Amino acid sequence: MKNLLKAQDLKAYYRLVGGTEIRAVDGVTLQLRPHEVLGIAGESGCGKSTLAAVMSLTHNPPLRVMDGLIMANGSNLLSLPPEQVRRKIKGTYISVVPQGAMNALNPTQRVRNFAIDMLQEHHPEMKKSEATDLAQSRLTDLSLPVRVLDSYPHELSGGMKQRAIIVLSTLLDPKVLIADEPTSALDVSSQRSVIRLLLTLLGEGIITSIAFITHELPLLRQVADRIAIMYAGKLVEVGTMEEIIFDPRHPYTKALMGSMLVPEKHVREQRIEAIPGVPPDLKNPPDGCRFHPRCPRRQEICSREEPLAKTVGDRTTWCWLMQ
Amino acid sequence: MVLANAVTQPEGVRLLLEVENLTKIFGSARNEVVAVDNISFGIYPGEVMSLLGESGSGKSTTARMILRLSKPTKGRIIFKGQDISTLKDIDYWRQVQMIFQDPFSSFNSFYSVHSFLGKAFRLTNNHLSESERTARMEQSMESVGLNAAELLFKRPHELSGGQRQRLMIARALLIGPDLLVADEPTSMIDASSRVGILNMLMDLSRKHKMSILFITHDIGLAYYTSDRLLIMNEGKIVEEGTAEAVVDAPAQPYTKRLLADVPTLRKAWDEEQELA
C-alpha cells in the first residue's frame, strides 16, 4: 500500500553561528504506512525529535533541511510554498504534538480558545460557537469530559491536558499524527490513558497513522506495529515490533534492549550492563558506522565505511555484520 | 512503630534511620493538604531501599524531611538513635548526603570540577593539605568512573549529564555518608548510561556499607536496585516488602493497579485486568 508519509535521504542540520553544523538527522529514509503506529526510538541527542520536526514541517532555523525529500501523495512537501503548507498540510494532513506541548498552552486562556483559534485558522468563516460545538462533540465521542473546554490549563491534570491537546490537534481529522514524547512527563496511569486515546483515534478512523517518538522501548512494545531505532542521526534498525523487541539484530539495538529496566524477573536474575562510552558529538561524528567506537562486535571495516542497508522482509539493518 | 524486615536483616542489627509517625501538612487550617500522612519505616545499615510513588504521593516531601530541608508537622526521624532535630546541620550532613534529579542545574557554572569538589571538604572538618585534597578528589572521581586527569579542571557545561551525575556521587563519596538519599537520580539520564550509574551506586553501597534511599516513580529502577520497596500513595505507605514480594505478588489494590499500568517487555498490557 502507498505510504502516507516518507522521508527520503533526509538530512537536517542545525547551523550555528560561525558555520558549525550539528548533523542531527543525517541521511534518514523512513516510511509511515497507513494504519500503523510507527515507533521512533533512541537516546537523547540521537535526532529523533529533529526528525519529528522536519516530518511535521515545523522546523525552524537554525535547523535546516540540507538535503532529501518529505513525500506525501506524490509531492515533495518541502518544496511547497509555506502558505500552502500552512493551509493544506498542517493540521489537516499532518498534525503534531510536540514535546512538552501540554506546558505550551496559554495559561491565561481557556482551553476552548485553543480549539477556536486552530479551527478558524483553517476555516475563517467558522463561528466561535460552531468551533466549540465541534470540539465538544469530539470530546463526547471519545468519552472525555466536555468541561475541559471551559477550564484553564492549570485546572487540568497533566494527563488530561495532554489528552485535550491530542483531541484538539486532531479535530480536522489529519491522516498523520506525529507525537513526540507524548507521555514522558506523566505517571504510569495517565500515560496509559493517553495511549488508550491515541489507539481510539486510530480505531475510530479519525487519524490513519501515528509516528510515536519516545525513548521508552517498553512503551513501544505495547503500542507500536513497527519500530525504528536511531543512533547519532542515523537509523540503525527498522522492523516490526516483534523483530526489534524479541529478536534485535543490530548491536546497538541489542545493547539498548539489554539495558532496559522493567519490573520483570530477568532484570533481577543477572547484573545488567550499561553500554560503555557515550554517544558521539554530532558536530564531528565518527567515520564509518557511528556506533563503532562503542560496539562490542566492531570489525576493521566499521571505522572506515558506512554500513549499507540490508533488508530482509520487514526488517532493515545498517550493520556490516549483516552483509 | 517500626516495620522491621526480618528477611534481609539478621536479628540484633540496629536501624540506621527510623521514621516514626511522620506527618507533613501544608497550607492553612482551612485549606489543609496532608502531603505525608503518619508514615513509619526504617532503613538498616547497608540496605538499598526505594520509596516508590507517583507524583503527588508525598515521596519527595518525605525525602526533604529526612534531609532536614523541611520540618515535620508531626512525628520524628531518628538517626543512629538520635532525633535529627537535635543535631547540628553540619554533623548530620556529614553522615547523610543526597543526589538530585537534575544534573544540569545542580552545579554553579562558574566553578570548575576541582573547586566544586573542594567545597565538600568544608563538611568533613579535616585539615588536609591542598595536595592531599586533590589526591582524594582524584580517587573519588576514579571510583565513579570519571577520568580525573581529563576532567578535574573542566567546568560543568563541558560535561555530559551522565558525567555530572557521577560527579555529584563523587562529591557525596568524599564526605563518606552512611546514608545517601537519591531523588530520581537517573530520570534525566539516557538508558544506556543509566544502568551504569545504578550499578555503581549498588557497588558503592556494598563496599562502604552505605545505605541508599531511592526516591522514584520508576518501578523498573526500584525493582533492579533495591532490597526493599515502600509503595506510597496519597501520603501513606500502602505496601512494604522485598522487591520480589512486592512486584511478583502485590497484596494491595493500588500496587496491583500501578504494576498493571507499567509497560514491560515480555508481556503485552492486559486490557481485561485494567478494566476490572
The mean of the pLDDT values for chain A is 94
Average pLDDT for B174-190: 89
* Interface touch A268/B261, C-beta < 8 Å: no
| Residue B198 or B159, more confident | B198
Which of A48-52, A75-79, A211-215, B189-193 is predicted least confidently?
A: B189-193
What does the pLDDT look like over B95-115, one tens digit per residue?
Answer: 999 998 877 777 888 889 999
What percentage of residues in chain B have a pLDDT greater than 70? 93
What residue segments make up the domains of chain A, in order of their start?
A: 5-108+173-268
Bridge-partner residues for A26, per DSSP? A11
Alpha-carbon separation of residue A81 from A8, A59, A78, A86, B50 (angstroms): 19, 15, 8, 9, 55
What residue segments make up the domains of chain B, in order of their start?
A: 1-95+177-198+207-276, 105-176
| Cell digits of residue A78 | 518541502
Backbone angles phi, psi at A247, to 5 degrees: -145, 60
Give yes or no for residue B2 having a pLDDT over 80: no
pTM: 0.90
Chain A residue numbers with beta carbons less than 8 Å from the beta carbon of B274 are: 192
Residue A228 near residue A40, CB atoms below 8 Å:
yes
Residue B70 near residue B64, CB atoms below 8 Å:
yes
What does the pLDDT look like over A29-39, one tens digit per residue?
Answer: 999 999 999 99
CA A184 to chain B, closest CA, distance in angstroms equals 10
What does the pLDDT look like over A79-131, one tens digit per residue?
Answer: 999 999 988 899 999 999 988 888 888 999 999 999 999 999 899 999 999 99
What does the pLDDT look like over B199-228, one tens digit per residue?
Answer: 989 999 999 999 999 999 999 999 999 999
Q: Could you tell me which chain A residue has the CA closest to the CA of B264? A: A218
Question: ipTM score of the complex?
Answer: 0.87
Give the number of A-B residue pairs with CB atoms closer than 8 Å: 110
Residue A102 near residue A158, CB atoms below 8 Å:
yes
**pLDDT score recorded for residue B276:** 40
What does the pLDDT look like over A218-241, one tens digit per residue?
Answer: 999 999 999 999 999 999 999 999
Fold classified for A5-108+173-268: Rossmann fold (3.40.50)
In the sheet where A94-97 sits, what is the strand order?
A: A94-97, A176-180, A209-214, A37-41, A226-231, A234-240, A315-318, A309-312
**pLDDT score recorded for residue B1:** 36
Fold classified for B1-95+177-198+207-276: Rossmann fold (3.40.50)
In the sheet where A21-32 sits, what is the strand order?
A: A21-32, A5-15, A63-72, A75-76
Residue B155 near residue B162, CB atoms below 8 Å:
no
CA A83 to chain B, closest CA, distance in angstroms equals 38
Give yes or no for residue B125 having a pLDDT over 80: no
What is the spatial distance between Cα A201 and Cα A178, in angstroms, rounded to a whole number?
13
What does the pLDDT look like over B126-154, one tens digit per residue?
Answer: 778 888 889 989 988 988 888 888 899 99
Give yes or no for residue A1 having a pLDDT over 80: no
